[in-house]
Structure 1
Amino acid sequence: MSKELATDQTEAKTEISRCAVIPAYNEGRTIGSVVLETLPYVDIIIVVDDGSDDRTAAISEAAGAEVISLGSNRGKGAALKVGFEQAMDYGASVIVTLDADGQHNAGSIPELIAPIEAGEAEVVVGSRQLTGDGEPSFARCFGRWMLDSATNLTLESPVCDTQSGYRSFSRDALEVVGDIQVGMGVESEMLIHCDRAGLTVSEVAIEEHYNDEADSSTHPIRHAWSVIRTILSVIRFQNPLFFFGIISLSLLGSGAIFGFDTATHYYATREFWPGKALLSILCLIIGVQFGTIALLFDYFNTWLQRR
């Protein structure tokens, strides 16, 4: 009997084509509706409860989702990573991610997965361009613009809404973005990994809904810093010449300015500024060191990619 049950479970897994992964942290007020609205469009919903202290897990399970509880709050990146691994175990060919706060309209899922099932893209981003219920605040819009600009500086093909959590992935894309880091910068990090891997990323216009229950669980400044820190971390390892080169040029430029100012002042007044002269020398020395690091890291990075 147990063998038959194991066989039935294996067959059930192989039949799963579309899977939704929803990271959730204290979203008991909205998660039930999100799960119920998503169910008609996918074969299975995986809610990853990121250490919630409310009834998020119980409500998700009652609504029909499979729940994975992390036990403690480990961040959105960790929650998505666990959900992706489970979706891969189920053999899902298309994976959709959406937020648990109800800001995404589940009715857009067919539009998000259509390009992937047609083989036209490996990643589809739901770009929040259509007006839905409520409007985002000015601070949210300004912060989104800043993060979009910072992320697009690292991408060959710009994406309009780099911070949207409403996305779909092919199985091949999931293998590229599966090793994501913990934190709120996961949206930018996934796009950067996909861009480096040469995957096709397309966008679909979606509605955005904001209401009293759709408040972010993370402070906007903390969120922005997490995203920027993630972007810099990825650039440092994947494009060291750019990262360390910018630091080197900034230091060399500052050293040159301090040195020129010291020299011109001495030429005009015969008064020497030892402090500014030492600062100039220090900036120049450190700038040369960072330039050397940039060249060495870039050489080793290229060598590793060729192996």
Structure 2
Amino acid sequence: MKLIVQIPAWNEEETLAESIAAVPRRIRGVTSVEVLVVDDGSTDRTVEVAKQAGADHVLQMSSHVGLARAFLAGIEECLTLGADIIVNTDADNQYCADDIPALIEPVLERRAQIVVGARPISEIESFSPVKKVLQRLGSWVVRVASGTDIPDAPSGFRAYARDAAARLCVVNTYTYTLETIIQAGRKRIPMTSVPVRVNTVKRPSRLFRGMGQYIMRSVKTILRVFVIYAPLRFFMTLASFFLLPALAGVGRFVYFYATDGGAGHIQSLVLSGAFLAVATILFAVGILADLIAANRSLLEDIRARDLLRQPQRPRQTGKVIHAVDFADAS
């Protein structure tokens, strides 16, 4: 049973060594523990620090591609390296690595294929009261959209079983955290969460400049993923907002037509006709989007099988795997 801890890093020369050193190398139920650092086009000494700190593998992207793309590249590389379990953590040492055994326990016991570390949001001093409220609100929205019960959706401290990791396909370039939960929920991949501890992080997040940007990007990500993975439900909901007023308008016209001949109420019929046209278009778009989603699901299944069947790369400690090599391997 091989465990690979992947650490996406972008200009993290100051904290990366500490994050690598914190990873426990002996865990009950696991035969080997390796560390993969995914360098997201860093311009500092991140790659050099990773090798000096004892990273077993370094995947170097050709340019800065963003957290979501770096995460997915790391997942595919872990699968190529023969990982049975993949743990994702941050390079800023935000998450307590001593909780990795608890994080992977549900996977080892086959109770879940994805485990999300739930942070004690109310106890994190670096989070403002507004951010704490938004974190809870965002997690609630993700639970509704995904049909899951994950209390801390934005948490990046996660464990993935090999089969579940192969089925993930991140579309947006901003972050993988919300999308992968909604995606896994729609694909009915068993998920659970465990409480985890956090360390003090001195620098602010690099994913967003302010709370407003974080909210807008999160809302955009949730809507986009919901359209991708539940298109029929999404467009049928939109269509109903036009269909109901249209039916009410038609009913109003029919009532007045039956009582006084409908004189002077033709506007209701015209407006209702416009609403019915919009509802019909949305309904048609929903059908087409649902067919496209079914085709995409088949392509994702083919991709997952290909990832699981590809030959495994032998371990070469300290070797830097470049993006070109990674693209060829996948």
User: CA distance change for structure 1 residues 59 and 182 in 2, over 3 Å: closer, same or farther?
Assistant: farther
Q: Would you say 1:205 and 2:207 are equivalent positions?
A: no
Give the structure 2 partner of residue 120 of structure 1.
111
Hey, what's the Cα distance between the residues in 2 that align with 1:175 and 1:58? 29
Q: Work out whether residues 125 and 167 of structure 1, in 8 Å CA contact, stay in contact via their aligned partners in 2.
A: yes
Instruction: Give SS of 2:5's match.
Output: strand
Q: SS of the counterpart of 2:74?
A: helix
- The match for 1:81 among 72, 87, 93 is 72
Match of 1:38 among 23, 26, 34: 23
Q: 1:283 to 1:241 in 2, by over 3 A?
A: same
Name the counterpart of 2:282. Answer: 290
Aligned to 1:161: 152
Residue 70 (structure 1) shift? 1.1
Q: Which runs of 5+ in 1 are unaligned?
A: 1-15
Contact 1:95 / 1:168 at 8 angstroms: preserved in 2?
Answer: yes
Paired position in structure 2 for 1:13: none
What is the aligned partner in structure 2 of residue 12 from structure 1? none
Distance 1:182 1:70, change over 3 A: farther
Contact 1:130 1:207 in 2 (8 A): no
CA 64–129 in structure 1, closer or farther in 2 if over 3 Å, else same: same
Once residues 180 and 273 of structure 1 are traced to their aligned partners in structure 2, the CA distance between those partners, rounded to angstroms, is 50
Q: Which amino acid aligns with 2:53?
A: A
- Does the 8 Å CA contact 2:76/2:166 hold for their aligned counterparts? no
1:218-247 Cα shifts (integer Å, max 9, x gaps): 234334333333332232232222110121
Does 2:173 correspond to 1:188? no
Of structures 1 and 2, the one with the larger relative CO (CA 8 A, separation 6+) is 2
Instruction: Work out whether 1:54 is the aligned partner of 2:44.
Output: yes
- The CA distance in 2 between the partners of 1:32 and 1:252, in whole Å, is 59
Q: Equivalences for 1:193-272 in 2 at 5 Å?
A: 193-219=183-209, 220-253=211-244
Give the Cα separation in 2 of the matches to 1:60 and 1:253. 59
Query: Distance between the aligned counterparts of 2:15 and 2:172, measured in 1?
Result: 24
Instruction: Tell me if structure 1 keeps the 8 A contact 2:25–2:34.
Output: no
* Structure 1 residue matching 2:43: 3-state secondary structure: coil
Identity value in percent:
24
- The change in CA–CA distance for 1:193 and 1:132 in structure 2 (over 3 A counts) is same
| Structure 2 unmatched ranges of 5 or more | 27-31, 254-259, 302-330
Inter-partner Cα distance in structure 2 for 1:96 and 1:169: 6
Contact kept in structure 2, 1:185 and 1:223, CA below 8 Å: no
Q: Hey, what's the Cα distance between the residues in 2 that align with 1:136 and 1:208? A: 12
TM-score by length of 2: 0.74
